């Protein structure tokens, strides 16, 4: 005899299930209430019991933890503005020091914390025996260490690392690749000795005789050749970790004299655009610097105002050519194209006010007088503090220094 299965309606099944669940819930509640400690911690969503239900503060485990206060984010502009004004001004100075002994360099760095030094004479003493390393230890902010190492008539390391051919000889006897390798090798030697800036290469386009003021310091009288060789030389220095400096902007190659001995006038600006300025349009690079010459340029500079202290020259370089790297002057203390017109402290002020980032002169003499004059110029408004801060930012960037790391 077969049994028929009994099919219960779904409503009945649900009802029975509900009754069972309810009964079980009742048993659990009864057991929990019977426990001496109230059954442990209340579950999320459960009604609060105990002291918290009476208005007392919740336990620390339940209290939200406020976020830790974050220190204000440092910005380069804020960090620079917090530096003492005399320290900011000192960063804008590159002074010449006699490289035959470390005393002059050590005094310039330790007394005023100058931004850079320029090695004159035989550089052997300062470039051997760890002298530059000890000098850097005396600096609050790393010091830029510069040499003139063009090759030919203008070089400082020949007694240590051998001679370099002149720029003109390089272009006549070497390929751009060979010049790159030569500059890379010399740059690595400089960097190993503590030199960080080479006041080279010359970008001047010139057909002057070899021994003229520019002469064989120029790669060629052809701006295309100049561009190729300048770019190769500069890239070699950059790849070695040394900052190249293009000079003498806006072009000394066709000037009518020597700025060491008097005023120099170049062809008008329109002619410079067709020749002297062409290499600059191709070689300018943020990882390079530019040196301004003491040149009178018809159609550009103001009468009696050489390019090195001329706002119009800086506008040409910054605005028209788009260069935003470091800008330096040529020597402001021993070249009559500038000294016949204005004394050193005022020449430094005018150059910085015009838009230069670093004023250079060939000795450390008058360092205190220059800084005193610049501080007074800040006070009387003839040197805007914002211009100083902008220049400090460019100097620190060229040295690879984070302003936030030197605050206070």
Which of the residues are catalytic?
A: 260, 330
Four-point Cα dihedral 330, 165, 124, 290, nearest 10: 20
CA distance 408 to 398: 21
Q: Is 42 exposed, middle or buried, given 0-12, 13-18 or 19+ CB atoms closer than 10 A? A: middle
Three-class HEC string of the chain: CCCCCCCCCHHHHHHHHHHHHHHHHHHHHHHHHHCCCCCCCCCCCCCCCCHHHHCCCCCCCCCCCCCCCCCCCCCHHHHHHHCCHHHHHHCCEEEEEECCCCHHHHHHHHHHCCCEEEEECCCCCCCCCCHHHHHHHCCCCCCEEEECCCECCECCCHHHHCCCCCHHHHHHHCCHHHHHHHHHHHHHHHHHHCCCEECCCECCCCCCCCCCCCHHHCCCCCHHHHHHHHHHHHHHHHHHCCEEEEEEECCCCCCCCCCCCCCCECCCHHHHHHCCCHHHHHHCCCCCEEEECCCECCCCCCCCCCHHHCHHHHHHHHHHCCCCCEEEECCCCCCHHHHCCCCHHHHHHHHHHHCCCEEEECCCCCHHHHHHHHHHHHHHCCCCHHHHHHHHHHHHHHHCCCHHHCCC
Q: Which two tokens stand for residue 302?
A: 């103001």
Specify which residues 328 forms β-bridges with.
Answer: 291, 358
Sorted by sequence, the CB contacts under 8 Å of residue 23 that are 6+ apart come out as: none
Residue the block writes with tokens 């503090």: 385
Residue among 225, 228, 272 nearest 248 (CA) = 272
CA distance 166 to 207: 14
């Amino acid at each position: 005899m077969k049994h028929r299965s009994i099919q219960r309606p779904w409503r009945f099944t649900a009802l029975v299930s509900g009754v069972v669940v309810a009964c079980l819930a009742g048993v659990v509640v009864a057991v929990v209430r019977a426990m001496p400690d109230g059954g442990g911690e209340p579950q999320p969503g459960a009604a609060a019991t105990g002291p918290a239900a009476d208005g007392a503060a919740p336990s620390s485990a339940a209290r939200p933890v406020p976020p830790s206060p974050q220190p204000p984010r440092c910005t380069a502009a804020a960090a620079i503005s917090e530096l003492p004004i005399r320290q900011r001004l000192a960063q804008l100075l590159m002074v010449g020091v006699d490289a035959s002994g470390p005393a002059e360099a050590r005094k310039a760095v330790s007394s005023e914390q100058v931004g850079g030094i320029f090695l004159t004479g035989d550089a052997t003493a300062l470039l051997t025996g760890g002298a530059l390393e000890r000098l850097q230890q005396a600096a609050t902010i790393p010091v830029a260490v510069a040499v003139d190492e063009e090759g030919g008539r203008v070089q400082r390391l020949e007694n240590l690392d051998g001679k370099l051919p002149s720029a003109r000889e390089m272009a006549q006897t070497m390929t751009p690749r060979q010049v790159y390798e030569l500059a890379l090798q010399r740059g690595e030697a400089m960097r190993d000795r503590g030199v960080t800036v080479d006041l080279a290469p010359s970008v001047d386009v010139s057909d002057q005789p070899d021994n003229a003021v520019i002469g064989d310091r120029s790669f060629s009288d052809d701006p295309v050749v100049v561009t190729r060789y300048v770019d190769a030389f500069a890239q070699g220095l950059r790849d070695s970790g040394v900052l190249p400096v293009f000079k003498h902007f806006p072009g000394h190659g066709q000037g009518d004299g020597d700025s060491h001995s008097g005023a120099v006038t170049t062809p008008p600006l329109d002619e410079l655009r067709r020749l002297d300025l062409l290499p600059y349009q191709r070689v300018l690079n943020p990882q390079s610097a530019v040196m301004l010459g003491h040149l009178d340029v018809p159609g550009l500079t103001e009468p009696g105002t050489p390019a090195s202290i001329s706002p119009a020259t800086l506008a040409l370089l910054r605005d028209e050519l788009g260069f935003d790297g470091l800008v330096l002057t040529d020597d402001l203390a021993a070249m009559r194209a500038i000294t016949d017109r204005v004394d050193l402290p005022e020449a430094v002020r005018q150059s910085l006010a015009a838009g230069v980032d670093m004023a250079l002169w060939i000795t450390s003499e008058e360092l205190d007088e220059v800084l005193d004059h610049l501080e007074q110029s800040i006070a009387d408004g003839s040197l805007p503090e914002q211009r100083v801060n902008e220049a400090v930012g460019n100097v620190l960037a060229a040295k690879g220094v984070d302003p936030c790391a030197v605050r206070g």
